[in-house]
Amino acid sequence: MNRFSNLRCGFRPRDIAPVLFLVVFLASVRSHAQTKSDQETPAIPKNQRVTIEFESFDKERGSVKLRLHNWTAWDIRIPVEMNFPGKANGLEIVKSAKAHPDGAEAPVRYYLEEYDPGPWMQTTEASGRKSPPDEPKHPPVPKFQRVDFMTEWWIPKNQSIVFEVPKEHLARNVELYVYLRYEWESLGTEVLDGPVHLVYFRGIDLPKKIQGKIE
2, part of any domain: no
Round to whole Å and give the CA distance between 106 and 161: 7
85, part of any domain: yes
Among the listed residues 164, 172, 98, the one whose alpha carbon sits nearest the alpha carbon of residue 141: 172
26, part of any domain: no
13, part of any domain: no
56: containing domain = 50-211
118, part of any domain: yes
- Dihedral (C-alpha) 196, 143, 134, 66: value to the nearest 10 degrees? 60
Q: For 39-68, how does the pLDDT look when each residue is reduced to its tens digit (9 = 90+)? A: 555 666 778 899 999 999 999 999 999 999
Among the listed residues 58, 29, 30, the one whose alpha carbon sits nearest the alpha carbon of residue 214: 58
pLDDT band at 9 (very low <50, low <70, confident <90, very high): very low
114, part of any domain: yes
Q: For 111-170, how does the pLDDT look when each residue is reduced to its tens digit (9 = 90+)? A: 999 998 877 776 887 777 777 777 778 888 988 877 778 899 999 999 999 999 999 999
Report how many domains make up the chain. 1
194, part of any domain: yes
137, part of any domain: yes
